[in-house]
Amino acid sequence: MYQSRHRSVLLMSMAMSVCGLDTAKAQTDDDKPSIEQLLKSGWQVAGYTSTFDNRSAMILLKHTSESYLVQCLAGYDVQRTPRVYVNCYELR
């Protein structure tokens, strides 16, 4: 259990560190929000989990004044350019 929890914290740290990188490069559409933009505008992390390959994490965000959630996939892949990718979308 300790290793599983430790891995989850590590993956969440990795995903949150994506916020400090240039996420505009990682996204193709400028209208999609980055994790950094969402956190700055009042969204809060409601939950997170790692994916089966342990190279990415799913982050669920909520906002007290919105009736929908936002889900973000953040990851790192050495075979992609750019290597860090983020994809956030609304869940309505």
Which DSSP string corresponds to 65-91?
T-SSEEEEEEEE-TTSSSSEEEEEEEE
The torsion angles phi and psi of 25, rounded to 5 degrees, stand at -70, -35
pLDDT tens-digit map of 38-65: 999 999 999 999 988 778 999 999 999 9
Query: What is the per-residue pLDDT for 18?
Result: 43
pLDDT tens-digit map of 71-81: 999 999 889 88
Contact between 91 and 58 under an 8 Å Cβ cutoff? The reply is: no
30 falls in which pLDDT band (50, 70, 90)? low
